[in-house]
Structure 1
Amino acid sequence: MKTAAFVSLLLLSAAATPLLSGCAGEAQSKSTAEKPKAEAIPVEIAAVVQGDITARYAGTAVLEAEREAKVVSEIGGVVLSLGAEEGQFVRKGQVLARLDAERHGVLLRQAETELERLKHQDARNESLFQRQLIARNTYEQNKSDLATRKAEVDLARLSLSKCAVVAPFDGVITRRRVKEGQLLKVNEVAFEMADFRELKARLRVPERASAALKPGQLVDYRADALPGQSFPAEIERVSPVVDAASGTVDIVVAVDNSSAKLRPGLFSRLDVAYDNVAGAILIPKTALLSGDRDTSVFVVRDNKAQRVAVKLGYESGRNVQVLQGLSPGADVVVAGQGALTEGSEVQALRANAPAEAVAKR
């Protein structure tokens, strides 16, 4: 009896097993059918194009005068009169201020009187020495005294001439530091002046860009104080060394101020075009993804995003040159890259196109 019951139980189990397997398969198929498909990520794309690109370096600088000086008084004295004011153009050698010269005039007359006495003494000693009536050492001592007095007269005349403070070159008085009646000390600054005709701007240019900059290249120069105006300028000097601390090279730009509108100290903007590439492969800079090791972009192919590493060249405005990695006609993602991964489904909208214009690829 027990054996018959056991056999019956086995038969019932075998019959139930296909029924259970069929139910599980049906449930699995239903679950797979109900799984939602991943939604396409909307992105904005732009085509890779070919065109000309001009490499430029833009920088700022403060305009400087090539020739500027602090005019000092080489002697001390009371200022008797002034010959120039701030903002006035002066010529080289023009008197800017006169000092009290009375004391120096007296010293000059004293030295000249003594010189005349020694000249007469020298003439008399010359006759006596020829007749061997005076010793050689007396004769030579008088000659030495005469030369010393001549030097003293020259020095007194020079000191008298220094009672007039004069302009060392043509330029504009930028500051007057003295007043009439003021006691001016030796080497005290009386005026400050600059030559506005020779203005310079100094730029610190990255080493890579500096290699293409040469003297004589034209520069687009503008000053914030004079909006809408540009002035002729060109590179005058390029430093032969690279600053190891900053990795930059000093560039001196000569600015033409024939219009007399510019002044030292103006905040300036300079733009130097140093190279031009025709038929370059170009993409918008907004397409770039910067990684730790390389720079890459997302390219859309068959409505899927593919990350492509690129090697870049020059930048200009909104575009950047691609040296390796892309060909003209490809579509790169310029907006929405943050939500993408390799192989993401995308819904591509053409840049600057209506929102409903979906690219089908």
Structure 2
Amino acid sequence: MFMKWWMANLSRKASISMVILALLLSGCSLLPNEKEEEVIPDIIPPKISQKPEYTVATKTLESAVTLIGKIISLEEETMYFTKGDLNVKDVYVKSGDTVTAGQLIAELDVSELQKTLRLERLAFQRDELAMKELLRTRDEMDQADYESQRIAFEEKRQKLSDMEVEISKGAITAPFSGTIVSLTVKKGDLVKAYAPIAIVANTSLLVPGAKLTKTEQEKVAIGMEATVSISNGGSITGKIKQLPNKSTESSSGGEGSGGAASGIDRIEDYMIVQIDKLPEGAARGLTASIKVVTSRTKDAIVIPPSALRSIGNRTYVQVVDKDGKREVDVEVGQQTPTDVEILQGLTPGQKVVGR
């Protein structure tokens, strides 16, 4: 009996203990969560930017002007009518034809002028008869009256001569033997005076040439080295032989002081490059890139443009050596997009600081 009571009492105590333990465990979950400690990232101090350093070097330094020109002929002429507002009667050549000096190229329809000339000649014949009669009675006439009639007669003679000249302007002929490299009219076209009609060129005398602006002409000189590259890929080196007339504004394309026609190309308007032989495949009219070397210095002391500094009239660089940085005044020579020539202040092998 006692044993049963003791076992029951023990079982009850065990149950109470388990209940208390459960309450304790559940009570823990009811407590507020502790705040997690914030993780602060490491702060890395910024690196001070390192300016580039360059070694003072030597090289062959060139300054050049690049021009866009074309292949032209040393013997070339643009043909045009000096009389305008007339229709083309006929064209006797086509582009690419070979012509000889004096050969007829084209004619204007001057039939009305010729008709007027015939009538004026008939009228002049009557005037000649009257003049012969005047000469027979000269001694009986007042001298002033005679001179007045004589002058009037000579004016009519001059008028006939002028009309013949005007009619002759209705035809253009080849000025020399060559090739028709351009032809811009056909039969029936209405033309203006001095409008280009045809170009005759001697295709055995081809050279590279370029028109220059005033600024470009100030940079180049006869004898300077020039490299010519044509549009089909060939290139060759030569020298400048001729510069354009300074009185001619090459970019205007207008009528010159000598009465040249508007838009007419003249050899005098071009810078000419003398070469021994054109690149293979060169032909008149092909585009040519001409690089003219305006200055060349061997073993020039150079630095990059970014290493050069200036304040007011002072030009200097920062030199870096074992003792640190120091400023050094320099004298500058020619400059290119990639190099600055130093005439005084630096020696090869030194280090300079860029920006």
Q: Map residues 233-312 of structure 1 onto 2, 5 A cutoff.
A: 233-234=239-240, 236-237=242-243, 253-256=271-274, 259=278, 261=282, 263=284, 266=287, 268-274=289-295, 276=297, 280=300, 282-285=301-304, 288-293=307-312, 295-302=315-322, 304-312=324-332
Q: Map residues 5-16 of structure 1 onto 2, 5 A cutoff.
A: none
Cα distance in 1 for residues equivalent to 2:184 and 2:246: 39
Report the counterpart of residue 32 of structure 1 in structure 2: none
Deviations 1:63-97 (A, max 9, x none): 59798757245054442320333455767754331
Q: Map residues 94-243 of structure 1 onto 2, 5 A cutoff.
A: 94-130=103-139, 132=140, 136=143, 139-166=146-173, 175-180=182-187, 182=188, 184=190, 187=193, 189=195, 191=197, 193=199, 199-203=209-213, 205=215, 210=219, 214=221, 216-223=222-229, 225-230=231-236, 232-234=238-240, 236-237=242-243
Q: Map residues 22-61 of structure 1 onto 2, 5 A cutoff.
A: 45-46=54-55, 48-49=56-57, 53-61=60-68
Determine whether 1:74 maps to 2:92.
no
Amino acid aligned to 1:187: A
Report the counterpart of residue 12 of structure 1 in structure 2: none
Give the TM-score normalised by structure 1: 0.58
Residue segments in structure 2 that go unaligned for 5+ positions in a row:
1-46, 248-268
Cα distance in 1 for residues equivalent to 2:101 and 2:134: 46
CA-atom RMSD in angstroms: 4.6
1:143 positional shift? 1.9
Decide whether the 8 Å contact of 1:313 with 1:320 is kept in 2: yes
Cα distance in 2 for residues equivalent to 1:116 and 1:284: 88
Determine whether 1:326 maps to 2:346.
yes
Cα distance in 1 for residues equivalent to 2:54 and 2:189: 76
Task: Pick closer, same or farther for the CA change 1:81–1:314 going to 2, 3 Å.
Answer: same
Deviations 1:221-273 (A, max 9, x none): 424514341253416448989xxxxxxxxx97323487493655836332223
1:184 positional shift? 2.4
Decide whether the 8 Å contact of 2:67 with 2:210 is kept in 1: no
Deviations 1:29-76 (A, max 9, x none): xxxxxxxxx999696653x4566x455232334459798757245054
Question: Percent sequence identity over matched residues?
Answer: 18
Structure with greater strand percent = 1
Cα distance in 1 for residues equivalent to 2:54 and 2:145: 105
Amino acid aligned to 2:160: V
1:172 positional shift? 6.6
Deviations 1:140-165 (A, max 9, x none): 45423421221122122123212213
1:285 positional shift? 1.9
Q: Quick check: 152-161 or 102-111, which moved more?
A: 102-111
